Amino acid sequence: MTMTDTLTSDVIGRRVEVNGEHATVRFSGVVPPVAGHWLGVEWDNPERGKHDGSHEGTVYFKCRHPTGGSFIRPNKVNFGVDLLTAIKNRYVLEGELEEEEEEEIVTIGNKPVETVGFDSVVKQQSQLSKLQEVSLRNCAVNGAGDRGAIAAACPNIRSIDLSKNLLSSWDEVVAIADQLRRLEVLNLSENKLTFPSGSPPPSGTFSALNELVLNRTGITWAQVLRCASGWPVLEKLYLESNDIVISERPVDVLQTVKVLDLSSNQLIDENQLLLIAHLPRLEQLILSDIGISSIHFPDAGIGCKTSTFPSLQYLVLNDNQISHWSVISELDKLPSLHALSCARNPLTERGRDAQTTRQHIIARVGQLRTLNKCAVEPEERRGAELDYRKAFGAEWKAAGGHQDPDRDRPSADFLAAHPRYQLLCRKYGAPEDGELKTQQPFRLKNQLLTLKIKCPNELDQEVVEKPLPESMTIQKVKGFLSRLLKVPVAKLLLSYESPKMPGREIELENDQQSLQFYSVENGDCLLVRW
């Protein structure tokens, strides 16, 4: 499109690029007293502008930010290129098109026709038709171009990245996708799009679309639901940074979605989340940086599972305002949850030991198999639950807990604060009085464990008892035992058994972890093999 064509057509609302910065045209015309034609633009980055669309007291257009606007000469503005031109610019190898052009005579009908570079055109078409994955980020794409041209040249595209281009409306996106009927992945992030006011008619345009990325496009929740009727098999939907408010429950749309990313939409609260709680196939929900501080499932009591989010397996709550353990305990109500990320919340950051925090989260959410992208092994879970049981034992007893089941009646407040505590007592036994003594963790005398040391494969080796600090790492324990038993460290294999868990042997396989990590206690027996 030439500059003359652009200025004679409707440019208002068009997306443009000026020296690497993106903007939307809000005005086209004369700005007295300066002669000539001007375009008034609203910048994506308001710091790039100079005013709010006014000049010498006259309002020519309006901006959301007082310094978001500028007047620019049309010859300074890039209106972009159509999709096929961008693909050719990016993917057609210049060397193949600049081969020596030989004149060739071909017969079309009964007439001989001279051709130049005929082989180059054929090679170009072949090259484009093979494309399946296309990345055109920041390539100034503004639309579909000539009708049918994309389908004729690139019929096999399955994945296309159109992020940070000059697309200005959902209709332009539809015009592109309508020619890519095999399209499965579409990224439209950072295109400031306008969306239709009504639901589009069924067309089959997105009949194969599996993944759609609409981060920073300005889409609203109502617009998502209106367009979603055209995404019949969509499984992954990314809506980051759109100031979304979840205003209504999806009905007959988004029912196939498995992954939903609502990160950095600061207006979302826990009540709005309940509107998407019945999406039947939702497995992964990403809620990073939405400012949420609480989550509650009112349909489920203590120790019960909620009927909401029935398929949710992975929940991401990074960079939020969670500061109370009750939020973590509430997550245990999710029936399918087995992976959680909750880094950089006040609860996990404010002066707490990271390992202790991790153990408490594991103990409070019984089905977790992955926490903050690190696997929760069975040994870690056992250690976390035993430590949690011990840490809150005194509080449990003060609230009415008792080793005798007939007298065990902890208060409702305690059970609300520690919903899994009774289950852990049934699993490992109620804490004994000796475990409930107030600990002073930074004084070595209160950290020493008296442990038996036994060598099962060495019949002549006597069982001995040694005091060891519970903070001692397995690596240092091996060093101590190497000196004691005169065996090279590299040959030692350690495990332990506890009178509380008869018949079970726990391997001490991580040299960097401590005895405390594995919940080794007074009177336990270290088993040493080589």
57 against 331, higher pLDDT: 331
508 against 446, higher pLDDT: 508
pLDDT higher than 60, residue 389: yes
pLDDT higher than 80, residue 115: no
Neighbours of 210 (CB within 10 A): 18
50 against 125, higher pLDDT: 50
Length of the chain: 530
Element (H or E) spanning 42, and its range? strand 34-43
Note the helical H segments in 193-324. Answer: 221-228, 270-273
Confidence of residue 1 (pLDDT cuts 50, 70, 90): very low
Dist. CA 386–CA 360, nearest whole Å? 10
- Give the tens place of pLDDT for each residue, 3-15: 444 454 589 999 9
Which of 228-237, 386-395, 417-426, 501-510 is least confident? 501-510
Dist. CA 208–CA 205, nearest whole Å? 8
Which residue, 471, 469, 466, 470, is CA-closest to 528? 466
pLDDT higher than 60, residue 484: yes
pLDDT at 195: 93
Global pTM reads 0.77
- Residues 316-337, mean pLDDT to the nearest whole number: 97
pLDDT at 161: 98
Q: What is the mean pLDDT of the chain?
A: 89
Kindly state the tokens that stand for 316. 């991401």
Exposure class string for 269-289: b at 16+ Cβ within 10 A, else e = beebbbebbebeebbbbbbbb
pLDDT higher than 80, residue 438: no
Confidence of residue 516 (pLDDT cuts 50, 70, 90): confident
Q: What is the percent of the chain with per-residue pLDDT over 70, rounded to a whole number?
A: 89
Dist. CA 176–CA 151, nearest whole Å? 9
Element (H or E) spanning 484, and its range? helix 474-485
pLDDT higher than 50, residue 434: yes
- Residues 239-253, mean pLDDT to the nearest whole number: 97
- Residues 311-334, mean pLDDT to the nearest whole number: 97
DSSP string, 341-403: E--SSHHHHSS--HHHHHHHHHHHSTT-SEETTEE--HHHHHHHHHHHHHHTHHHHHHTT--S
Give strand pairing partners of 70: 41
121 against 293, higher pLDDT: 293
pLDDT at 8: 46
Element (H or E) spanning 123, and its range? helix 118-129
Region of 404 please: left (phi>0), alpha (psi -120 to 50) or beta.
beta
pLDDT at 492: 92
pLDDT at 445: 46
Beta strand 54-55 with 34-43: parallel, antiparallel or unpaired? unpaired
Which of 45-54, 197-206, 252-261 is least confident? 197-206
Confidence of residue 34 (pLDDT cuts 50, 70, 90): confident
- Residues 419-431, mean pLDDT to the nearest whole number: 94
pLDDT at 122: 57
pLDDT higher than 50, residue 97: no
Confidence of residue 125 (pLDDT cuts 50, 70, 90): low
pLDDT at 191: 96
Q: What is the percent of the chain with per-residue pLDDT over 90, rounded to a whole number?
A: 72
Which of 65-69, 295-299, 473-477 is least confident? 473-477
- Give the tens place of pLDDT for each residue, 492-501: 999 999 988 8
pLDDT at 118: 45
Beta strand 525-529 with 111-116: parallel, antiparallel or unpaired? unpaired
